[in-house]
Structure 1
Amino acid sequence: MSEQIDSVPVSAEEAVRLSEQHYNATIVERIDHNDDLSRFRIRPDKGVPPFKPGQYVTLGLGNWEPRLEGTQVEVLPEKKWRRIAQRAYSISCPMIGTDGKVAPIDSVDYMEFYVTLVRRSDSPDKDPPSLTPRLFKIGAGDRLMIGKKITGHYTLGDSIGPDDTVLMLGTGTGEAPHNAMVATLLAGGHRGRIANVTTVRHKADLAYHKEHAILMEQYPQYRYVPYSTRDPENTDAAHPNYVGKRYLQELFTSGDLATAVEDPLSPTNSHVFLCGNPSMIGFVPPGGDPPANPGMLPLLREAGFSDDSDCSGPGCIRFEKYW
């Protein structure tokens, strides 16, 4: 497949005019973890509005902007040349401030986003990815659009007791809202166990690993537990440290997860948060057929947890909905 480097045929003068019309925020810092994974710190022109950890907002760039070399060709009809490519992202946070202490969302004057570059669509029936091939072309000082409304119901709520256990299960960049939640809980003096568990394809994709290590040193009640699924020790049975693929569902049912976080993870005192791959979450819409490999929701229900809308207090499951 050939590469697309140039933008759609909009003149430089018009591109400037369109950007001035639509863009309302500036990238103040871009932290690249690897070629396909970055943290973007973005400051809205009117300042950061109040929001709750776990919520999300849209980011956007004009279709007139160039795409990153090596990404899928996107052929747009003329009617879309001047439109904005948008996508919603959960808001993460730096976790550690310049003073070396925990940095919750309200301690900085920017919003942080944890973004994976999608180079190509995963199906020939789908359109090429529109936003990230443009987003990964820009950096500090560049302009973009940020949505006017921060929204989402995937938040900590007000029913977590100071000594309750909080279990957060995420995959990939689904860690982002959990980072914001963790920093808020720790800064607020939460005493109970906080377990932030994530799975990634490769351990090289753990962009916040250093920050989590610092927090674990400062807060003995905090555990960050990362797993991988595609490193050599996951896929090569001859590897001296072979453990197989580590999926959250199996770790939970085997009891390995409770051992790793040093907590029984009981519905009598634990709250559960799920964010990331829908297969991990395991939501089945009414009338839908359950998958052969269940996600976390049915497994947690079997263990005595509840995802009922009126659930409050320990034993409740909250999950981010991407559908």
Structure 2
Amino acid sequence: MTAEEITELRQRRYNATVVSLKLLNSDLMVLRVKPDFPRPAHHPGQYCTLGLGYWERRTEGCQVETLTAGEETKVVRRAYSISSSILDESGHLMRLEDNDWLEFYIVLVRENADGRVPALTPRLFGLSEGDRIQIGERITGHYTLDPVKPGDTVIFLGTGTGEAPHNYMTWELLSRGHTGKVVNACCVRYGRDLGYHDTHKKLMSQFPNYTYLALTTREPGVTRKVYIQDLITSGELEERIGEALDPAKMHVFLCGNPKMIGVPHRDRETGTLSYPQPVGVIEVLEARGFKADIAAVKLKGNVHFEEYW
């Protein structure tokens, strides 16, 4: 494609600008995007789409891509939960109305085990500040704080960039003066993958009801791998928050690796649930009296989830 053709496609297909791009490591970034239109009304925990044309360059070191005829003029899109850095540069809780951008927490997918070539993230990691991008005009999703009462204990359990909506939801709870405990746990492979770690440490010093738990599974020196499920079954989660798990006054939010979440299959005829293996958090919690949301029958429980990939 010629430079003129690419310029024309960008002008026609893109509707937002990259205003900030912070590489936390070679495969992890915080991206802020300013739409050309007023930022849509939304709730923390929801998501929207980002898109780039197949004509954009891909960052090096990724699975080889071969485009089909005509594909080079199309746009590849993916849904991303909106994140939040929670604190402003002065260390105070952000004022949402002061921001005209949306924040995203993105990991670079270099290759897929199933052979599908990752199309979007290798292009996102080729962006620079000032570049143009496509953003969805609608922000949507049911993964929100709607069921939470002011005094409830709220527990966020995430893996990797599944922390993104939990950060935004944490901001909302702290901003509105939530009186119950707020616990945010994130499991990653290495410490360098905890992109908001310093922010969470600052939050713990400012808000007595806030606790952050960071779990790493491959960090040198780690003698015992602790996954999110282990945090619960070992009793460590209860110990850290200082109270027993109680379905009557707690809401648990799960986001990230589907294997961590463990959404059960519901038989349409009998309503019987069958849980996947390995054991996921939903099975662990339901054995303790919690109930997960079941969208098919519009059941709102006290375990809410958002699966990534």
TM-score (normalised: structure 2)? 0.93
- Report if the CA contact (8 A) 1:93-1:180 is conserved: yes
Residue in structure 1 matching 2:143, options 147, 154, 161: 154
CA apart distance, 1:266: 1.4
**Count of matched residue pairs:** 301
1:174 equivalent in structure 2: 162
1:261 equivalent in structure 2: 241
CA apart distance, 1:105: 4.5
1:224 is paired with a residue whose SS is: strand
RMSD: 1.7
Distance 1:180 1:266, change over 3 A: same
Instruction: Give the letter for the 2:263 counterpart.
Output: F
2:282 equivalent in structure 1: 297
CA apart distance, 1:197: 0.6
Greater CA drift, 174-183 or 145-154: 145-154
1:7 equivalent in structure 2: none
CA apart distance, 1:289: 5.7
1:3 equivalent in structure 2: none
Instruction: Give the letter for the 1:14 counterpart.
Output: E
2:221 is paired with a residue whose SS is: helix
CA apart distance, 1:267: 1.1
Map of 1:231-246 to 2, 5 A cutoff?
231-234=219-222, 242=223, 244-246=224-226
Alpha-carbon distance in structure 2 between the residues aligned to 1:136 and 1:228: 24
1:195 is paired with a residue whose SS is: strand
CA apart distance, 1:98: 2.6
Alpha-carbon distance in structure 2 between the residues aligned to 1:178 and 1:106: 19
1:320 is paired with a residue whose SS is: strand
Greater CA drift, 138-147 or 289-298: 289-298
Map of 1:81-230 to 2, 5 A cutoff?
81-103=72-94, 105-123=96-114, 126-157=115-146, 159-230=147-218
Instruction: Give the letter for the 1:93 counterpart.
Output: S
Structure 1 residue ranges without an equivalent (≥5): 1-9, 235-241
CA apart distance, 1:12: 0.8
Greater CA drift, 103-112 or 144-153: 103-112
Greater CA drift, 302-311 or 188-197: 302-311
CA apart distance, 1:99: 3.0
Distance 1:265 1:289, change over 3 A: closer
2:265 is paired with a residue whose SS is: coil
TM-score (normalised: structure 1)? 0.89
CA apart distance, 1:100: 1.6
